[in-house]
Every structure is written in structure tokens, then in C-alpha cells.
Amino acid sequence: MSDESGFGHHRPWVSTWAASPQTAIPGTPDASGFNHQTIRNVVFTSVSGDLVRIRFTNTFGDQPLQIGTAAIAVAGNGAATTGASVPLTFGGQPSVQIPIGAEVLSDPVRLHVPALQDLAVSVYLPAATGSATLHSLGRQTTYVASGDHTGDSAGSTYTTLDQSWYFIDAVDVLAQPQVRGTLVAFGDSITDGFNSTVNANARWPNDLARRLDSSRDTLAVADEGISGDRVLTSDLCCGVNALARLDRDVLERAGAKEVILLMGINDIGFSVTPPNPVTNPLPDVSAAQIIAGYQQIIAQAHAAGLKIFGGTLTPFKGAGYYSVAGEAKREAVNHWIVTSGAFDGVIDFASVVADPSDPTMMAPQYDSGDHLHPNDAGYQAMANAIPLRLLLNGAR
């Protein structure tokens, strides 16, 4: 996507932050939505820029979404901002209505967006929203206030809401000369940073962005992980399957050049979990079916001109949905990832976090405690295992 604003001399837009939209689970407060309230989302950037736009989403809404006002600022402590908020417009107007299932881009505004910095994106919802489009389990505190407080800098009018992001799915900046494009981290809860420290931005894509920031050339990093997501199956709890969201979350992401795919462990594990209305269906998925899903993702990424790198599935012995049969599937999938040559490169996450004395288990120093998700040190080890040369050469 090229710059059409006249500001950037044809520099591309890139996604300095992103999160995959999800539907609200029926019967939860999110399904009731918001009314005459301001939500302040806090998001962590990967690269800097001086021209910024926000993508607002009503992808899973059940009625048109009215945005009264919206603003962006560099975040301070808690709900506070550093400096004045910059109002956002939509076709020159301060408000916009987003149809059911749609997304809108704000007009570009000038704001120095630092790399590796929290931003506050505030949106005032003047009327009942109906069911909210959100990204759940974001590991980042979101704030809410009654009335229009998009421009408030002190943050004292806000109270803590939860750890989800609401009605936004991307923050784009006009790329600096050293930024070669956007790398999309496409995965499940391990990419989403589940069990990492809240408000610490300790997901492995964040850690990778920090490593890239020290390079002469760099990439924006868009985290498109959804906790509980699967390659082949959709559900109410954990989002639409990877193939169904590939276009929206990966191929159409601003400046997308590369993908790291790390997904499939939930396809394996969920098949042995008890039936549940929010996670059903729970099919018994084979390694061959997961591999077929990978092959389609690879084919579509290549058709769109993207490089795609495969991450090996990390060990899960001791996790609630572990089984001997599931471990055999994981090993078969990983063998294919490493040996098939189908990907443009392989990142062996499994070996990095495995216990050397039992590679079917996560090493204790990297285990968050549930034997499935890494802790902060484990996520850092995963990021450290990614060869920057592989990524930067692929983005040429």
C-alpha cells in the first residue's frame, strides 16, 4: 500500500501495532457493549513514525457502530497521556458510522510516534454499540470513562475495564526509510503472549521488535495471535480459524512483507477436551490435516508476494490437554515443518524452550506454570532464536 496522503513521497504504510478482532461471547458484558462511554486502549508500537492512522473495526458487530470522537496520544502512567491528545477525523469529520462487518481508517494525522512506546487510542461511543468487536486476553490494561473524555490527559476520569482491546485492530505509521515493511506474527496464545506479565509488553513479537530496533534496517511487527485459535476450526471463544482470517489479519495488513506462522497446538490439544459451548466443535484433527492447512497458508502467502517462515510447535507435556497421541501429532507436524522445504525458512521454537532432559516438556526456567505457555524468559528466548538476517534478507 503506497502513501496517498501527499505527505510521504510514496513511502509505504506499515502496521506498528495490530491485534486480531474477535467476537464477544454471548452472555458476557462485551456482548452488551457500551453506551455514552469512552474507551482508552493502550497499545505498544514496534517502529516509529511521524504520520499515523488508526483502523477501527466493527467486524463482529450486530449493528452499525457510531464513533462520536476519537484521539491518539503518547501514553503515560495508567490511563494518563504524555502531552495533548491529537483528535482523529474520518474524511475530515470528527465522527463516523461503521457498518456491520466493516472497518474504517482514520485520516492520517501528524504525531511523533516513538518506537517501542505505549500509545493511548481513545474512542467515544455516544450511543449503544451492541455487541463489541474486541481482542480478548490482550495482557494490557484498558480503561473506560462515562461520557466523552477522549482529550483528557490526566486519566483521572477513567477506571480500569479489563485486558481487552476494543474497536481497533491496527495502528499504522508512514514508514521511515530504514523500515522494509511489516512482519506479521500469525499464531495462537503463544504468539498472543498468554501468561506473560501484564502491561510489560513481554510477548515474543514485542521482544523481536526490540531486537529489530537495534538493527540498521528493521521491520514493523504486527502481532496477529489469538489465544485458543486453531488452524482449521473456528469457535465462539477463540476466534475464526487461521485460513478464514488469513486475508484480513495477514495478507491485507499494511506493508505486509513476511509472516511467521506458529499455530496448530490447539488443533491437536482441543480434540481431547470435554465438549464446551464456546469451544465446540472439537474434531480429532490429524497431523496430515494440519499440514494441509499450512500448505494452503503458504500458497496464499506466496501468491500475495509474502515470505513465510514456519515455527515449530513448542512442547506441551503436562498441559491440561496433553496426550501421547497428541505428542505424536506434534512431532509429525514439526518433522514436516523442518524437512519439507515448504517454508521460506524455519524457526525452531520447540528446541529453544524444550527441557533437554525431556524434549516433550518445556524447560522449567521457561514454563509459566501451565506447561504450555512460556513465561517472560521463555518468550524472550523464542525471540532470541529468530535469525534477524533471515527476516531482513527476506524483506528485500
In this structure, the answer to whether residues 307 and 385 fall within a common structural domain is yes
φ/ψ region of 78 (left if φ > 0, alpha if ψ in -120 to 50, else beta) reads: left
In this structure, the answer to whether residues 308 and 248 fall within a common structural domain is yes
Q: What percent of the chain has pLDDT over 70?
A: 97
The answer to whether residue 1 sits within a structural domain is no
The answer to whether residue 198 sits within a structural domain is yes
Interval 149-169: pLDDT, tens: 999 999 999 999 999 999 999
Distance CA 91, CA 106 (A): 8
- Grid cell in block for residue 244: 478464514
Q: Which domain holds residue 268?
A: 178-394
In this structure, the answer to whether residues 52 and 158 fall within a common structural domain is yes
Q: Which of 309, 154, 297 is nearest to 231 (CA)?
A: 297
In this structure, the answer to whether residues 151 and 184 fall within a common structural domain is no
pLDDT at site 4: 40
Interval 2-13: pLDDT, tens: 344 444 457 899
pLDDT at site 274: 93
In this structure, the answer to whether residues 222 and 139 fall within a common structural domain is no
In this structure, the answer to whether residues 158 and 273 fall within a common structural domain is no
In this structure, the answer to whether residues 297 and 356 fall within a common structural domain is yes
Partner residues linked to 310 by β-bridges:
261, 346
In this structure, the answer to whether residues 216 and 363 fall within a common structural domain is yes
In this structure, the answer to whether residues 317 and 367 fall within a common structural domain is yes
In this structure, the answer to whether residues 249 and 389 fall within a common structural domain is yes
Distance CA 38, CA 142 (A): 11
Interval 30-43: pLDDT, tens: 999 999 999 999 99
Examine the fold and report which residue of 150, 171, 192 is the final residue of a domain before the chain moves on: 171
Examine the fold and report which residue of 141, 171, 201 is the final residue of a domain before the chain moves on: 171
Count of domains observed in the chain: 2
pLDDT at site 6: 44
Using DSSP's 3-state secondary structure scheme, residue 254 falls into: coil
Supply the CATH number for residue 234's domain: 3.40.50.1110
pLDDT at site 7: 46
Examine the fold and report which residue of 117, 149, 171 is the final residue of a domain before the chain moves on: 171
Supply the CATH number for residue 53's domain: 2.60.120
Predicted TM-score (pTM) of the model is 0.96
Interval 55-104: pLDDT, tens: 999 999 999 999 999 999 999 999 999 989 999 999 999 999 999 999 99
In this structure, the answer to whether residues 103 and 247 fall within a common structural domain is no
Per-residue b or e along 278-306, where b marks 16 or more CB atoms closer than 10 Å to that residue's CB: ebeebeebebebbbebbeebbebbeeeeb
The answer to whether residue 35 sits within a structural domain is yes
In this structure, the answer to whether residues 289 and 213 fall within a common structural domain is yes
The answer to whether residue 2 sits within a structural domain is no
Interval 264-311: pLDDT, tens: 999 999 999 999 999 999 999 999 999 999 999 999 999 999 999 999
The answer to whether residue 3 sits within a structural domain is no
pLDDT at site 393: 86
pLDDT at site 396: 57
Interval 187-199: pLDDT, tens: 999 999 999 999 9
